[in-house]
A and B are shown apart, each in its own frame.
Chain A
């Protein structure tokens, strides 16, 4: 069964600090992996999308990495801001013509002053 596991479930960090969120998946065959940011009560917003051949992708202070061999991804947030407080969701799209997306349950990040 295709699964996406995220860790930690929740995280509290001080403003200005860095943090790394983890995503492990079992989806096969693999097409691409997406990271979304979701503010409470709002729709998710895409941060990055990485295909099989991409190892690293940045979007401002957000940097995602992908190791397709070990089926792991991480999202690194640099110099955190209060506005980074949100849930971060890892989503994996399978290949072979399917448009099924497998969602992780998310990591809830709280940035405190």
Chain B
């Protein structure tokens, strides 16, 4: 089944404790992206990747890191989480980039709480 998977789905942690949220897709998509969603603010893009070893900042990259060493995986790293990073996180992937209108597939979401 074609899908985007995220792990963990739920995470409660404490301020300053490094964490990684994994994202994997099995559709051979070039483009992958991370978003956070907060009440009243909608989805905001954190980082995106056009292909392996190619990443770029979205609208709210502060406090986050990403890497794209393999085409299928795009982990989101919080080196020193803070309470303002408590949010619902989504990973997404699609074919192509640039002018491509290809459909973007979203993962199920990771609900992160930082105490």
A interface list, Cβ under 8 A from B:
31-32, 34, 41-46, 49, 51, 89, 93, 95, 97-101, 103-106
Contacts and interface: CB of A to CB of B under 8 A. Distances in A.
B103 A99 contact: no
Nearest to A93: B101
A9 B8 CA distance: 31
A49 B96 CA distance: 15
Interface of B: 4, 31, 33, 40-45, 48, 50, 58, 88, 90, 92, 97-99, 101-109, 111
A98 B97 CA distance: 8
A105 B69 CA distance: 32
Contact of B45 (A34, A100, A104): A100
Given A95-B99, A103-B42, A105-B42, 11 more contacts: A31-B99, A43-B92, A43-B106, A43-B107, A46-B104, A46-B105, A49-B101, A97-B98, A99-B31, A101-B45, A103-B43
B101 A43 contact: no
B97 A89 contact: no
